[in-house]
Amino acid sequence: MCHIDDPRPRGQTKASPEPRCPLILTGFRRLPFPSYHPSMSVQEALEVRHSQRELIAASMGQVASVLWYAARTRQTAVNQFGRRWESRPASSAGGLHPIHLLVCSQRTERVDVYDPIRHGLGRVALANPASVSRYTKEIEEMLPHARGTILTLGVDPLATATFYENHETLVWRDAGCLLGMVELVCAALGLGCCVLGILGTPLLTSVKSRRVLIPAGACVIGRVWHRNQGCPGSGG
């Protein structure tokens, strides 16, 4: 077993690196505020949550509601150490939130990134659009009966490394918190979610960014398919 040192705060540091999102964007669109609200208690959501492998596409309003409840920024500040601190539903080491949520749909080459402050999607410039198609095809082979929205986690390691020594394990804990929050929110909204056993490397290598982002996991969200609705793989 390898030895892993505990993370330690670096103390007084310079302000967080800018720009906040290193991805190169070509456009932006605001998302609607939630029109779909949780219909059950936390206890009920925990009881019904399980991986859903048969999904059909959710509406943009439903996707926006998941992003709002799971990943939006509720408050921002700069603390006494010069750290940019944010409060979001999922916890993050030092309130740094180094993970960017990339959003794409199957059978498309468009990639967006969620802006948790403005609650919108920034369209990401692509260095290799064909790699996006290969990525969505790979997921389609893993989940042949799912046609949903793919959320991929891209970590900006500099955001955490600037303020913590031995920072490497922190981002993986952040990723687990965020994926768990997405799952719970989907359950509360009556939607389905399936966390994938991949990192999302093909997608992260296809986007243009000012800094390297590390892939840290992915999931597919959508409406739960019921057998009286026909084959979920037959639609777009």
Structural domain boundaries, residue 186: 19-127+150-225
Please report which confidence band the pLDDT of residue 116 belongs to, taking 50, 70 and 90 as the band edges: very high
Closest of 32, 21, 109, 20 to residue 66, by C-alpha: 32
Question: Considering the chain, what percentage of its residues have pLDDT values greater than 90?
Answer: 61
Q: What pLDDT sits at residue 84?
A: 75
CATH number at residue 67: 3.40.109.10
pLDDT digits (tens, 9 = 90+) for 60-104: 999 999 999 999 999 998 877 666 789 999 999 888 899 999 999
In a domain, 139, yes or no: no
Asked whether residue 71 is domain-assigned, the answer is yes
- Asked if residue 22 has a cis previous peptide bond (ω within 30° of 0), the answer is no
Which of 63-67, 84-88, 183-187, 230-234 is predicted least confidently? 230-234
- The answer to whether residue 8 sits within a structural domain is no
Segment 158-163 mean pLDDT: 84
Question: Is residue 12 in a domain?
Answer: no
Average pLDDT, the chain: 87
Write the pLDDT tens digit of every residue in 210-221.
Answer: 999 999 999 999
Lowest mean pLDDT among 12-16, 134-138, 161-165, 189-193: 12-16
Least confident of 8-17, 77-86, 141-150, 209-218: 8-17
Above 50 in pLDDT, residue 232?
A: yes
5 found inside a domain: no
> Which residues have C-beta within 8 Å of that of residue 73, sequence separation ≥ 6?
86, 87, 88, 97, 116, 117
Q: Answer whether residue 11 shows pLDDT above 80.
A: no
Is 162 a domain residue? Answer: yes
Contacts of 80 (CB under 8 A, 6+ apart): none
Of residues 2 and 73, the one with the higher pLDDT is: 73
Distance CA 104, CA 85 (A): 28
CB 67 within 8 A of CB 119: yes
User: 69 or 160: which carries more pLDDT confidence?
Assistant: 69
Q: Identify the residue with better confidence: 194 or 37.
A: 194
32 occurs within a structural domain: yes
Q: How many distinct structural domains can be found in the chain?
A: 1
User: What is the spatial distance between Cα 131 and Cα 28, in angstroms, rounded to a whole number?
Assistant: 22
- Assigned domain for 56 exists: yes
Question: According to the model, what pLDDT value does residue 1 have?
Answer: 43
